[in-house]
Chains A and B, each alone.
Chain A
Amino acid sequence: MAVSAKSFVRADMLAPKAPPVAQSGAVKWMRENLFSSPFNTILTVLGALVIYWLVASALPWWMNSVWNANSLTECRDIVTAAAGEGATGACWAMVRERWHQFIFGFYPSHLYWRPTVAFGLLFVALAPVLFPAAPRALLWVTGLYPFVAFWLLWGGSLWTPILGLFGFVVLAAVYRALNGRLGVPLATGCGIVAAVLFWMFLDVPLLNVLSSILSLAIEQVDSDQFGGFLLAIVIGVTAISMSLPLGILLALGRQSDMLIVKTLSVGFIEFIRGVPLITLLFTASLLLQYFLPPNTTFDLILRVIILVTLFAAAYIAEVIRGGLAALPRGQYEAADGLGLDYWQAQRHIILPQALKIAIPGIVSTFIGLFKDTTLVAFVGLMDPLKGITQVVRADINWKGIYWEPYIFVGAIFFLFCFGMSRYSMYLERRLKTDHR
């Protein structure tokens, strides 16, 4: 007998109903993120008003941009002709005409390839430092880069950087020979003395001899022709790469048990951190003539780089000191327990951890340093912001232009600084070893 398979309970599942409109999709998202409470609703409306105001005032100006004109008046005429009376428009023709000054300053235009090549090589030199995936052999490029870049940028005889490099070779050789017996600080000190003696007494005669044999010279460019972002990057990159080791040394000095070393480090750091960078730059331009032996002059860019480096090093030292202080005491004790001496312990145990903790602070100091390179305008160098922009704004054709040069320069600074901060986030993620 066939029993009909009728039951009181449903045997098959119902298709699920769509959730209520208010609980799904865009509506739910908006309820949760934009209109969750009266206060939030007010904030959302205010935020929307701000955005509307920004877009409404900037968009037409942006859409009416003019790229081909010879002066600001011509730009304005074109905008008026295209969009009607009273319309505003950006005059990017200024950037089109003057971009090379913003980038290279007054560097001779037939030599633009040299800074360009140096800038390209910079990335090759940076790659092995920044990314572990890059081939290790590139570290040789990194080591040689400062000398190559110096030669490319300033020109002159190739022997100058080669002999400069040779001084460092002397330093390294002396250090290697003495390190086992004298320890790191004394061996380094002896190496530095040897290198300085080489530069003081052998460098110039050797240079003369070598140049007379084979000149290897390219056209020389003076420092006062540097300007724009070329100058900012030269000062920024040099000061960044030199201030990190100096800052580490200062931080170690501040944490040291040696009273005299500690006092000197603290005094230096606190003095530098207590005065504005501008006063230090003025020291570079005004006071060094008092502090150095009579009739010594050396390049203003070099003086500025030295002072900016010292300034950044003091800040880096404080950041790294924070990292050192954050390490648990046990790490120091474990290093001592393994029988490592001070420098071995610092190199293999302490600094790798302390620097990792200090990365965000170090990178934000670097970003600050790069932004502060604009202050060199006050000692007469042509920085992109005040120096070059003032030159452009003083031109009769571009008199009265203000948004465009500042937006152009600001955007480039933003790219560099934002890039640096993104890299520091990447580095933090890569070095993260905890399991949170």
Chain B
Amino acid sequence: MALATDAPKESFRLGMLIYDTRFRSITIQVIVLALFLAALSWLVNNTVQNLEAKGRSFDFGFLWQRAGYDIGQQLIPYTNDSSHGRAMFVGLINTIVLAFFGCIFATVLGVMVGVLRLSKNWLVGRLMTVYVEVFRNIPLLLWILLSYVILSETMPAPKDFRVTDEMTAAGELPAASMMLFDSVAITNRGLDMPAPLLTRSLGSVEVFGVPFNLSAIVFLLIVAAGLYANHVIRSRAQKIQEDTGIRPVTWWKSIAVIAGPALVFLLASGFYLEFPQLKGFNFTGGIQVAHSFTALLIALVLYTAAFIAEVVRAGILAISKGQSEAAFALGLRPNRTMSLIILPQALRVIIPPLISQYLNLTKNTSLGIAVSYLDLRGTLGGITLNQTGKELECMLLMMLIYLTISLIISSLMNVYNNSVQLKAR
């Protein structure tokens, strides 16, 4: 006699798809997928119909047509005879340059503010708190507009810098003067600063129509090699310290290795600075930076630095007090405690939110539209879009590029994040 009987075999009924929780999730997924596909095909169908009704085609041929507009800030050669595609590329470079400098300056300022906000100095701590709260709670657009207006409406005109013979004779000073030993001039037209130039340049090589300055590349390679050599010297010193307890003096070696070859290279190529000079009604020579760029950079840096300061502060506070007390008990001084004990651990907490701040800054560069900065949005999503009427193509391409930039930044920073995370062994 068999005691164990099989459970009665349930036959599958259609109703189980809805009433049985085991199958319900499959039903739901199928419905969701069907709805999604239906919505997608509805959108595509509408788009095709609308394009037909307007008599437009969906193609990217306009990227090879003549652009016909000028771009103020161009880091690769571009004229209004160049193609829309090249204009887009110039805009993309402008976006990246702004984001790059923005991230660097915002990090420096943000870390400083974040650390100072935690300092025992009451006055400085309060001052930093006020800075952080003011900048975090007011829209970025306000800072962009305000700094642009201040730069372009209140700065002196180039003619105010003029010193005439009569004024010299009368001992009068001009209405405005240049800053930093007569090297930088801020006028209502732009920011003039010295340009680094070489008398014996190595020339440049063109790749896909983009010229690369060979001297700059060689210089960067030399500096990189110097940094690597410095790394070798320091790790050797570390090894000696671990073996003998005495760390050899390396600072002069470091300076020699990093700065020496670079200086020799600069001297050999005849490095000099070209200062801006007042000629006629404007400054010539040097580099002129448009106010749209400066204003955006100032606003983005001040705004993002406030957020980064909070990130840094939260990271430092997340490290338990026991860590710093243990470090003091070992006899480490406060700044060594900070650099050897607290910061390496805080970095793990800080980096993930820092990545999202970098991403925010990069996406916020698109606010350049407020001050007519011709970045990716201004060229591809602005003038090109208006001239060609290719709204769909321009917007899709622009979103795709922004998405790619975001993904690249977050994956790069994730690689770095993984390298500082706690390694479980």
B138 in complex: contacting residue of A186, A371, A421, CB < 8 Å: A371
User: Are A186 and B18 interface neighbours, CB within 8 A?
Assistant: yes
User: Are B49 and A282 interface neighbours, CB within 8 A?
Assistant: no
User: Counting CB contacts under 8 A, is A219 at the interface?
Assistant: no
A257 to B24, CA, bound (A): 13
- What are 26 pairs between A and B in contact, CB < 8 Å? A33-B120, A43-B116, A43-B124, A47-B127, A181-B18, A186-B18, A260-B29, A261-B28, A275-B403, A275-B406, A276-B363, A276-B364, A282-B395, A287-B392, A289-B50, A290-B50, A290-B392, A400-B153, A402-B150, A406-B142, A406-B149, A410-B138, A410-B139, A413-B139, A414-B134, A414-B138
**B136 neighbours in A (Cβ, 8 Å):** 367, 417
| CB of B127, distance to nearest CB on chain A (Å) | 5
User: Are B124 and A44 interface neighbours, CB within 8 A?
Assistant: yes
User: Are B127 and A51 interface neighbours, CB within 8 A?
Assistant: yes
A375 in complex: contacting residue of B122, B141, B403, CB < 8 Å: B141
With contacts A185-B28, A402-B146, A413-B142 known, is A44 near B123, CB below 8 A? yes
**A406 neighbours in B (Cβ, 8 Å):** 142, 145-146, 149
Apart from A34-B122, A289-B50, A402-B146, what 14 extra A-B contacts exist at CB < 8 Å? A43-B124, A48-B123, A186-B28, A274-B406, A274-B407, A276-B363, A279-B381, A290-B47, A291-B47, A292-B46, A294-B53, A371-B140, A400-B153, A406-B145
**Which B28-71 residues have C-beta < 8 A from chain A?**
28-29, 31-33, 36, 43, 46-47, 49-51, 53
Chain A's interface size range is: 35 or more
**Which A364-418 residues have C-beta < 8 A from chain B?**
367, 371-372, 374-375, 377-378, 385-386, 389, 400, 402, 406, 409-410, 413-414, 417-418
User: Counting CB contacts under 8 A, is B339 at the interface?
Assistant: no
| CB of A288, distance to nearest CB on chain B (Å) | 10
B121 in complex: contacting residue of A40, A279, A286, A294, CB < 8 Å: A40
Chain B's interface size range is: 35 or more
User: Counting CB contacts under 8 A, is A65 at the interface?
Assistant: no
A300 to B1, CA, bound (A): 78
User: Are B123 and A34 interface neighbours, CB within 8 A?
Assistant: yes
User: Are B47 and A261 interface neighbours, CB within 8 A?
Assistant: no
User: Are A294 and B49 interface neighbours, CB within 8 A?
Assistant: yes
User: Are A279 and B366 interface neighbours, CB within 8 A?
Assistant: yes
User: Are B119 and A40 interface neighbours, CB within 8 A?
Assistant: yes
**B160 neighbours in A (Cβ, 8 Å):** none
User: Counting CB contacts under 8 A, is A36 at the interface?
Assistant: yes
Q: Which of A274, A294, A389, A406 has the most CB of B within 10 A?
A: A274
User: Are A275 and B32 interface neighbours, CB within 8 A?
Assistant: no
User: Counting CB contacts under 8 A, is A337 at the interface?
Assistant: no
B25 in complex: contacting residue of A36, A257, A277, CB < 8 Å: A257
A357 to B27, CA, bound (A): 33
B142 in complex: contacting residue of A51, A292, A410, CB < 8 Å: A410
**B137 neighbours in A (Cβ, 8 Å):** 367, 371, 413-414, 417-418, 421
**A164 neighbours in B (Cβ, 8 Å):** none
A330 to B128, CA, bound (A): 41
The 8 A CB mask of A263-281 against B (1 = contact, 0 = none) is 0100000010111111100
A182 to B33, CA, bound (A): 19
The 8 A CB mask of A285-308 against B (1 = contact, 0 = none) is 011011111100000000000000
With contacts A182-B18, A259-B29, A286-B391 known, is A275 near B402, CB below 8 A? yes
**A286 neighbours in B (Cβ, 8 Å):** 385, 391, 395
**A290 neighbours in B (Cβ, 8 Å):** 46-47, 50-51, 391-392
User: Are B24 and A186 interface neighbours, CB within 8 A?
Assistant: yes
User: Counting CB contacts under 8 A, is B419 at the interface?
Assistant: no
User: Counting CB contacts under 8 A, is A341 at the interface?
Assistant: yes
User: Are B403 and A271 interface neighbours, CB within 8 A?
Assistant: yes
User: Are A294 and B395 interface neighbours, CB within 8 A?
Assistant: no
User: Counting CB contacts under 8 A, is B96 at the interface?
Assistant: no
User: Counting CB contacts under 8 A, is B412 at the interface?
Assistant: no
User: Are B32 and A261 interface neighbours, CB within 8 A?
Assistant: yes
User: Which single residue of chain A is at the shortest CB-CB distance from B19?
Assistant: A181
A371 to B134, CA, bound (A): 13
User: Counting CB contacts under 8 A, is A183 at the interface?
Assistant: yes
User: Counting CB contacts under 8 A, is A22 at the interface?
Assistant: no
User: Counting CB contacts under 8 A, is A177 at the interface?
Assistant: no
User: Counting CB contacts under 8 A, is B367 at the interface?
Assistant: yes
User: Counting CB contacts under 8 A, is B163 at the interface?
Assistant: no
A291 to B44, CA, bound (A): 7
User: Are B46 and A274 interface neighbours, CB within 8 A?
Assistant: no
**B124 neighbours in A (Cβ, 8 Å):** 43-44, 46-47
User: Counting CB contacts under 8 A, is B325 at the interface?
Assistant: no
User: Counting CB contacts under 8 A, is A258 at the interface?
Assistant: yes
| CB of A143, distance to nearest CB on chain B (Å) | 28
User: Counting CB contacts under 8 A, is B229 at the interface?
Assistant: no
User: Counting CB contacts under 8 A, is A50 at the interface?
Assistant: yes
User: Which single residue of chain A is at the shortest CB-CB distance from B395?
Assistant: A287
**B399 neighbours in A (Cβ, 8 Å):** 275, 279
User: Counting CB contacts under 8 A, is A283 at the interface?
Assistant: yes
The 8 A CB mask of A16-54 against B (1 = contact, 0 = none) is 000000000000000011101000100110111011000
With contacts A258-B25, A279-B399 known, is A33 near B121, CB below 8 A? yes
The 8 A CB mask of B351-395 against A (1 = contact, 0 = none) is 000000001000110110110000001000100010000011001
**A341 neighbours in B (Cβ, 8 Å):** 21
User: Are A43 and B121 interface neighbours, CB within 8 A?
Assistant: yes
**B116 neighbours in A (Cβ, 8 Å):** 43
**B392 neighbours in A (Cβ, 8 Å):** 287, 290
**A421 neighbours in B (Cβ, 8 Å):** 137
User: Counting CB contacts under 8 A, is B81 at the interface?
Assistant: no
A327 to B347, CA, bound (A): 23
A282 to B377, CA, bound (A): 11
**B402 neighbours in A (Cβ, 8 Å):** 274-276, 279
**A283 neighbours in B (Cβ, 8 Å):** 395
User: Counting CB contacts under 8 A, is B182 at the interface?
Assistant: no
User: Which single residue of chain B is at the shortest CB-CB distance from A278?
Assistant: B366
User: Counting CB contacts under 8 A, is A108 at the interface?
Assistant: no
User: Counting CB contacts under 8 A, is A189 at the interface?
Assistant: yes
**A43 neighbours in B (Cβ, 8 Å):** 116, 119, 121, 123-124
**A417 neighbours in B (Cβ, 8 Å):** 136-138
**A46 neighbours in B (Cβ, 8 Å):** 124
User: Which single residue of chain B is at the shortest CB-CB distance from A41?
Assistant: B121
A215 to B338, CA, bound (A): 72
**Which B137-171 residues have C-beta < 8 A from chain A?**
137-142, 145-146, 149-150, 153-154
**Which A48-79 residues have C-beta < 8 A from chain B?**
48, 50-51
